[in-house]
Amino acid sequence: MNAAKEIETLIRAKYPILFLVTWEEARVQSVLEEIGTRLNRQVHTWSVTQGMNPSVSAARKDQAGKLPGELEALAQIHEAAEFTIFVLKDFHSYMRDTRVIRLMRDLAIRLRGKSQSLIILSPNLTIPTELEKEITVVEYPLPGPEEIAAQLDDVISAVSDNPQFNTQLEALDREIMIKSAQGLTKDEIESAFARSLVEFRRFNVDTILEEKKQIVRKSGLLEFYPAESSFKDVGGHDLLKEWLEKRRTSFTDKAREFGLPAPKGVLMLGVQGCGKSLVAKSIAATWHLPLLKLDVGRIFGSLVGQSEENIRKAIRVAESVAPCCLWADELEKGFAGVAGGGSGDSGTTQRVFATFLTWMQEKTKPVFLIATANDVSKLPPELLRKGRFDEIFFIDLPESPEREEIFAIHIKKRKRNLANFDLKALAAKTAGFSGAEIEQVVIGGLFNAYDKGHDLTQEDLIQEAGAQVPLSVMMAEEIDELRTWARLRARPSARRTED
């Protein structure tokens, strides 16, 4: 049942006090007006600044000012005729006052008898215990796909005879626009559509992501990442890229109708500097989804109980901007101690972790979790159990052809012509180097060239490669251990030829 229908039913069934949880006063108000008309009931709206509108009775008006506004409002309701609806804005903040609570309890019985309904609108659900039995809570949802589609059509028809704007949308793009706008209020959606037309002369999903950025920023627990890298910036990892490419449109209705489940998430384990964070960023950009980074450090607040509330809040924010990617980087750092018993902090880490696990298991909103980790020994085994992630990938050091690709990416990024370089020779010289180290070779090479006063040459790169000792040499044992572990439990991110 949709929320408007539910409210109508509750009013007809004489539920005396409804608490509607919503940010959208104007949108809900117009729905309530419609219900009032349909049920033939007068709707009175009260706010602290405007008072009761329309006022209940002229006689009461000259008494105005003698009582505090909120008590005056309740007094007016007490006097009002049968079959009326009262909408109270921001009233939750007065519901701490014992007089208000008492009056509301007394009113509740009377309201029922007179077919009157009192409706409280507020984004914050706070109900004093004394009133719990009198109040019925309805979460008023943000606009759904049909409403957004109608809004989009309104905008299109409003500008249809203006040749400045291109309002053509392919079916898939239209669906992406509508999907991305979910989680925003009606006003935010309208602003995003309008802004898109003004800025780009057409509909661009990035303006919607811009609106969502605001929501994420205000929450303070998640970090919004701009879409900057794509799969083209990632060298190697062909199997991982294929896997992700296949899931590119998996958040669409067509995929649902086909019977595909929405993807849950992916865990990338592996050697430092081989592109885990880079892949995370490029997934979101390729899929045109907002990327939210979960900062585990910020989750663990200093107050008791705060960390658990924080993780719940972070999850809520991510769900409210869904579809999106939630990026939990270096998971083992945040949840270190869970595997070892979590002795130091009286189980807080464990409880936060448990909340997170439960959410992963049961989430229904399209939030794609991208998790990364370097050290498997610190990861709690529950995390790796089937059903939590769609897949666990092992990110190994790049083999020779992958190193060529990575060199090519970074040489091109620095605006040098690839024809001047022998990529095969560079790859041969850098066995055991990670992607990050290859990037360092290119940067070091540029310094060499600049110092010598000529443009970058093959020789500069070879010289730099010879001067660096890759991490894999110093950490040979750890990497071997990781490989042995991963061979049985994870899928390789790239086709292997060497061993």
Ligand X SMILES: Nc1ncnc2c1ncn2[C@@H]1O[C@H](COP(=O)(O)OP(=O)(O)OP(=O)(O)O)[C@@H](O)[C@H]1O
Stretch that binds ligand X, among 105-113, 115-123, 185-193, 276-284 (CB under 6 A): 276-284
Stretch that binds ligand X, among 30-38, 105-113, 335-343, 432-440 (CB under 6 A): 432-440
Is 277 an interacting residue with respect to Mg ion (CB under 5 A)?
yes
Backbone angles phi, psi at 194, to 5 degrees: -65, -45
Q: Where are the beta strands (DSSP E) in 198-258?
A: 222-225
Backbone angles phi, psi at 311, to 5 degrees: -65, -35
Question: d(Cα 243, Cα 241) in Å, to the nearest integer?
Answer: 5
Is 374 an interacting residue with respect to ligand X (CB under 6 A)?
yes
Residues near 205 by Cβ (< 8 Å), separated by ≥ 6? Answer: 173, 176, 177, 180, 288
Cβ closer to Mg ion: 8 or 332?
332
- When CB distances are held under 5 to 8 angstroms depending on the partner's kind, the choice from ligand X, Mg ion, none that residue 183 binds is none
Is 282 an interacting residue with respect to Mg ion (CB under 5 A)?
no
Q: What residues form DSSP beta bridges with 402?
A: none
Is 435 an interacting residue with respect to ligand X (CB under 6 A)?
yes
Is 401 an interacting residue with respect to ligand X (CB under 6 A)?
no
Question: d(Cα 415, Cα 158) in Å, to the nearest integer?
Answer: 45
269-295 core/surface letters (b: 16 or more CB in 10 A; e: else) = bbbbbbbbbbbbbbbbbbbbbbbbbbb
- When CB distances are held under 5 to 8 angstroms depending on the partner's kind, the choice from Mg ion, ligand X, none that residue 439 binds is ligand X
- Measured from each CB, the residue nearest to ligand X is 435
Task: Count interface residues toward ligand X (CB under 6 A).
Answer: 17
- When CB distances are held under 5 to 8 angstroms depending on the partner's kind, the choice from ligand X, Mg ion, none that residue 471 binds is none
Contact 445, 244 (CB under 8 A): no
- When CB distances are held under 5 to 8 angstroms depending on the partner's kind, the choice from Mg ion, ligand X, none that residue 17 binds is none
Is 374 an interacting residue with respect to Mg ion (CB under 5 A)?
no
Question: d(Cα 264, Cα 328) in Å, to the nearest integer?
Answer: 13
- Measured from each CB, the residue nearest to Mg ion is 277
- For the window 220-239, what string marks contact with ligand X as x by the rule CB under 6 A? --------------xxxx--
- When CB distances are held under 5 to 8 angstroms depending on the partner's kind, the choice from Mg ion, ligand X, none that residue 236 binds is ligand X
- When CB distances are held under 5 to 8 angstroms depending on the partner's kind, the choice from Mg ion, ligand X, none that residue 342 binds is none
Q: How many CB atoms lie within 10 A of CB 27?
A: 17
CA 150 vs CA 33, 178, 449, 486: distances in Å = 20, 10, 59, 49
From the CB of 288, what's the least distance to ligand X, in Å?
21
Encoding tokens for residue 388?
């939590």
Is 276 an interacting residue with respect to ligand X (CB under 6 A)?
yes
**Residue 98: exposed, middle, or buried by beta-carbon count in 10 A (0-12, 13-18, 19+)?**
exposed
- When CB distances are held under 5 to 8 angstroms depending on the partner's kind, the choice from ligand X, Mg ion, none that residue 435 binds is ligand X
Contact 472, 397 (CB under 8 A): yes
From the CB of 248, what's the least distance to Mg ion, in Å?
23
Encoding tokens for residue 293?
């980074």
- When CB distances are held under 5 to 8 angstroms depending on the partner's kind, the choice from ligand X, Mg ion, none that residue 267 binds is none
- The one among 143, 263, 275, 492 contacting ligand X by CB under 6 A: 275
Is 269 an interacting residue with respect to ligand X (CB under 6 A)?
no
Q: Which residues bind Mg ion (CB under 5 A)?
A: 276-277
Binding site for ligand X (CB under 6 A): 234-237, 272-278, 374, 406, 409, 435-436, 439
